[in-house]
Amino acid sequence: MRLASAFALSALSVLASCEPRQSRSRAAYPPAYTGPPAAPQANYAAPPPQNQGSLTLPGSRVVWSHVPPTNAATNPTWGPTLTDIVQRRPARETTTWPDEASTAHELTHSIGFELRLVASRADRRATGFYVLGGRAAILREPGFRKAQVAALIPPSLRRYRYDLYLAGQPGWDDRPLYVWDEWN
């Protein structure tokens, strides 16, 4: 239960510190890319961690994996972070978003989806997070449910993000790292 409590503290920082952003009215980002086709998705991720038995140090079971670029898209207005993310856009992702922040957030979800697909072939509980610089963290979902984390959030902090990400989305209840994924 201590792990669920620690996770609840992380979720609190998401719920309490974030306010909704106003989208800027402008063309969808990223603009359509017409360069060479994306690389096959098979290069995503490494094998997930194996069961290592007894308790170890936090982070010691994370498998770091290389995420190669899938294209050479650039735009002088993006900056290095958005450029890094857009250059790893999965081939199946064709959506555009109204602004740079939404583009970075949603593409990070798409990259994570590809990582999770590959990692979960060997371990159904494995998931992946793109952490920039061509690196991803592959780890196992913790042994508690998202609903257990939701129960630890004080009622005074249960705002709209609580309803959407912790109380809502029941299909993700067995994947509490979903909350972390939304934090990006």
Nearest to 179 by CA among 136, 144, 133, 132: 144
Domain coordinates of the chain in residue numbers?
A: 2-13+57-183
What type of residue sits at position 99?
D
Who wins on pLDDT, 149 or 11?
149
List, for residues 62-107, the tens digit of each pLDDT value: 889 999 999 999 999 999 999 999 999 999 999 999 999 999 999 9
Q: List all residues 6 or more positions away from 152 whose beta carbon is below 8 Å from its beta carbon.
A: 4, 5, 8
- Tallying the residues shown for the chain, one arrives at 184
Question: Contact 108/97 with Cβ under 8 angstroms?
Answer: no
pLDDT recorded at residue 105: 94
Output the CA torsion sign for 95, 101, 106, 108.
positive
Average pLDDT over residues 22-40: 48
Q: Is 37 helix (H, G, I), strand (E, B) or coil?
A: coil
Q: What is the pLDDT of residues 118-133, one digit of tens each?
A: 988 888 888 999 999 9
The pLDDT value given to residue 53: 60
Instruction: Give the count of beta carbons closer than 10 Å to the beta carbon of residue 26.
Output: 9
Closest CA to 26 of 137, 122, 88, 103: 103
The CA R_g of the chain, rounded to the nearest whole Å, is 17
- 56 within 8 A of 4, measured Cβ to Cβ: no
Q: How confident is the model at residue 44 (pLDDT cuts 50, 70, 90)?
A: low
- Mean pLDDT of the chain, nearest integer: 78
pLDDT at position 169, please? 84
Q: Give the residue with greater pLDDT, 137 vs 4.
A: 137
The CA–CA distances, whole Å, from 150 to 12, 16, 48, 72 equal: 10, 14, 27, 41
Q: Report helix, strand and coil shares of the chain as percent, to nearest 5.
A: 40, 10, 50
Task: Please state, in angstroms and rounded to a whole number, the distance separating the CA atoms of residues 60 and 147.
Answer: 26
